[in-house]
Chain A
Amino acid sequence: MKTGTLYVLAIAVVAFMVAGQFLAYGANPYHTSSDSWSVEGGIGYEVSSNTSSNYDALLIDTGISVPDGLMIYNDPGYVSHYDESYMSEKTELLCSELSLRNVEYIIVDAEQIRAELEEDISNGSADTRLIIQVGVLPDTIYDGGPDSLILEWLEIGGILYWTGYTLGCGISSVSGVYERESGYATDFLGIPDVDVRSDPYISSLYATEKAADYGIGEELSVMYNDSTFGINTQNLTDFISIGFTSSGYDSLVLAKYHGGDGMIVIFGGKPAINTIPTIAQVIASKLTYCSEIAEHDSGKLFHSVRGGTMETDASKTYSLYIYVGTPQIYARTFDC
């Protein structure tokens, strides 16, 4: 081969690579958008994309009002069951997944979380949600007693998303983690402790049977089956279980806080790269323990615009959740 041809070949290959770099880091040529508006007796929506993707539009009867915002607890100064770099990476990924779903969030440390909850309590209503991925509650909001700040906040309607360890069992401080021996399940869910899978040395449990409300999870493209710290729902009353179940423990449960208006959503596994999109999906959709899917449209987008209308009942609270792609490349929630 002539030397000149060799250079031409090299330049062609490098040019293709540089084009890829430019598309990923400079141009961002992809555009997906959606909109929603009121129509008589319902809502209209539209979704468009210059990609080749499938889309789903879910009209969710949420039953209760859900705030838009979210606090993500992450305090490297407080001990947890996960090391700092692991949690930093997962938090970064959660933020990325929430951003593509347009969820507004702030990251709070142990002191900030106390201030935020105190403010909500003094206002008498929770205007934001909270996710704790590290599997322990900081001692600034929970001391193991029934008058703890987090319980008061749940009482006034706070929404807590939980993953990483047994719910309410571990209390974290700057010096270590204190584990409660009993009463944690009663405090949070009003059920016996045995109903929350708790032995930290027990092997992982990946559930295989569909849970009672798996259909809702399926409509959201949620397939979450880690029941390692799952919930036995036999003594729960107001809840939906949208994941899988094995040995009596469900992987993904949305339950009403037994002592008030709030909600606790338990993802029964640990924060991991591939489960975080699922967590973000549930948060963004504003799904609640009393949700029902009122309508579900789906279709194919290929450099096109699609839309439709859905009937609503004026007496109910809805969110329209539109998501695009497998895995998701875009999602938006519209309150209606």
Chain B
Amino acid sequence: MKFFHLSGIRGENSLVSRIGRNLLYIFIIGIVLRVVLGPLTFSFDLSFFVGTGAGFESGRTLYEAGNFYYPPVYGYFLSALTYLWNFLPLQSGYMSELLVNSTAVSDFSQVYISSMALAFVYKIPLTVIDLACSWLIYVMVKEKTGDRRKAEIGFALFFLSPLVLWSSSVACMFDSLSAFFMIFSIYSLTKNQYLLSGAMLSLAFFTKLFPIVIGFAVICYIISGSEGRWKEVFKKTAMYAAGFVIAAAIVLLPLVLNGELSSSFGFFGDRTEGTSSGGGGLLDFFANPTPDKFIYAFPIMFLLIAIFSMLAFMREGDDDKKLVMASVISVCTLFIWPPIPTYPVIAIALIALAVTYCGRREWLVPWLLFSILMVVHHILNFGGRILYTLANETSLLDLGSTVAKYFQFLPLSWDLMYYTLLALFIPGIACIIAALYSLKHGGEAET
């Protein structure tokens, strides 16, 4: 008996020891927060994923039912998940006539309320993806620095970021998947796995397009690491490109065979088409910085990304850290123009690395600003709508009065959103300041 008792304690201790007590606490806190946030759901966005799943169940392909407005990778994940979810006896949601009192309602997404069961089940894979990305950050920081504490902080900076929590637990968005593939790509590159790194960046790109901007940093890294041996540069670049192309081919093949390639990028036109109809002068342009105007700011961003990446690699020091710094600056530069609030989740992942691996604590300011301001803006955008599932399925709230209050406060929300939208410039500006500071004080970071 004593033997079993002792072995049990030793086994428990070694498990805690292996995982790390702090990491376990962070994990538990992150899960608890996600469970608490679980009943809050933005059914509007979720309805499109439900519609995509229904499309699969009706024998249609990813883009055939017209509900999926992203590159295909997450759609393929949804397809596999839809199959698994079919083994659960849950209802996806309800249509509610109580919601028929706003503009442009005559569509399914506007009157749809997801069921509580679906809301929780849908968020489980998103939590797993959050966890996988956090774990990759942990592994990379621990391996590179040998410091478990730093690795744990890196894990926490992603897993407990309010923006990450919000994105996967309330907004039901999958930006973490793109972040996961991007961190995977960077980590693989630092381990000289060029083919794998290229493939992972390709998957990140075909999840949400933004990670492609670390391409400059990758090229600089390869050139820098080859120390002027151009044959080696060519070989490594070819390997990287091959990985990218192979993964792209796997991702795109079904779409090409099915004639859906244009549909998979159709969303890009939809997201920017509002811009072309916009009028007014430069002041109007900046005074109403809607995400669709991003396309006009992109040439400047593109230039900045190229310059910052080169500057990062012109400093003395470790190439792996330069890769991370050039990547974080590149990605954050994209968000100088106010994005849709969940987009900077990929920036959060890179900032976690910049702070813990590269020791650049100045990046905690953009981390905080992204984490708070994006969520505040999105809360105003979503409003009381995130309570609809809770109100529909519990007696805590009355759906009718929740809907009424949403519309009652809508004018005030719109007024406030004007200011919070302008405030979304602040994290981007903070990133540029942090980038300049990091580049100027490249050698002074805590290592």
Residues of A within 8 A of B (CB): 1, 3, 6-7, 9-10, 13-14, 16-21, 23-26, 28-30, 32, 50-54, 89, 93, 96, 100, 204, 206-208, 210, 214, 218, 221, 223-226, 244, 251, 269, 272-278, 300, 302-303, 325-330
Contact = CB atoms under 8 A, between A and B. Distances in A.
Interface in B30-84: 50-51, 54, 56-62, 64-67, 73, 75-83
Which of A24, A28, A30, A206 neighbours the largest number of chain B CB atoms within 10 Å of its CB?
A24
Contacts of B62: 24-25
B111 interface: yes
Contacts of A32: 57-58
Contact of A277 (B76, B90, B108): B108
Nearest to A273: B66
22 contacts: A1-B139, A1-B187, A6-B184, A6-B187, A6-B196, A21-B79, A21-B253, A24-B61, A26-B254, A30-B57, A32-B58, A52-B90, A100-B58, A204-B104, A206-B105, A206-B106, A225-B100, A274-B107, A278-B108, A302-B89, A326-B92, A327-B50
Given A7-B196, A327-B51, A274 B106 contact: yes
Contact of B95 (A16, A251, A326): A326
A17 B77 contact: yes
A262 to B, nearest CB: 25
Which of B95, B107, B251 neighbours the largest number of chain A CB atoms within 10 Å of its CB?
B107
Contacts of A223: 95, 97, 100, 105-106, 108, 111
Interface in B183-235: 184, 187-188, 191, 193, 196, 199-200, 203
B88 interface: yes
Which of A28, A221, A326 neighbours the largest number of chain B CB atoms within 10 Å of its CB?
A326
Given A100-B59, A206-B105, A251-B106, A25 B257 contact: yes
Given A21-B79, A51-B86, A14 B250 contact: yes
B79 to A, nearest CB: 4
Which of B81, B85, B106 neighbours the largest number of chain A CB atoms within 10 Å of its CB?
B106
Which of A6, A32, A50, A300 neighbours the largest number of chain B CB atoms within 10 Å of its CB?
A6
Contacts of A326: 54, 91-95, 112
Nearest to B47: A327
A317 B284 CA distance: 61
Nearest to B53: A329
B243 to A, nearest CB: 10
A152 B10 CA distance: 90
A18 B58 contact: no
A3 B191 contact: yes
B12 interface: no
B43 to A, nearest CB: 12
Which of A53, A225, A244, A278 neighbours the largest number of chain B CB atoms within 10 Å of its CB?
A225
B277 interface: no
B79 A24 contact: yes
A35 B191 CA distance: 60
A24 B56 contact: yes
A21 B76 contact: yes
B54 A10 contact: no
B105 A225 contact: yes
B103 interface: yes
A165 to B, nearest CB: 16
A3 B105 CA distance: 52
Contacts of A328: 54, 58
B250 A25 contact: no
Contacts of B82: 23
A89 B63 CA distance: 11
B200 to A, nearest CB: 7
A6 B90 CA distance: 35
Contacts of B78: 20
A277 B257 CA distance: 26
A3 B254 contact: no
A34 B107 CA distance: 27
B57 A325 contact: yes
A208 B57 contact: no
B97 A218 contact: yes
Contact of A96 (B64, B95, B112, B200): B64
Interface in B319-355: none
B73 A17 contact: yes
Contacts of B80: 16-17, 19-20, 23
Given A20-B79, A21-B254, A329 B143 contact: no
B395 interface: no
A10 B200 contact: yes
Given A16-B80, A206-B103, 14 more contacts: A1-B139, A1-B187, A6-B187, A20-B83, A52-B86, A52-B90, A52-B91, A100-B59, A223-B97, A223-B108, A225-B106, A273-B107, A274-B109, A278-B108
Given A278-B106, A329-B54, A25 B61 contact: yes
Nearest to B91: A54
A281 B103 CA distance: 22
A3 B50 CA distance: 37
A276 B67 CA distance: 12
Interface string B367-401: 00000000000000000000000000000000000
A63 B180 CA distance: 59
Nearest to A9: B184
A169 to B, nearest CB: 21
B276 interface: no
Nearest to B109: A274
Contacts of B254: 21, 24-26
A206 B50 CA distance: 24
B106 A224 contact: yes
A95 to B, nearest CB: 10
Contacts of B101: 208
Nearest to A277: B108
B258 interface: yes
B102 interface: yes
Nearest to A50: B86
A226 B103 CA distance: 9
B85 to A, nearest CB: 7
Contacts of A206: 102-106
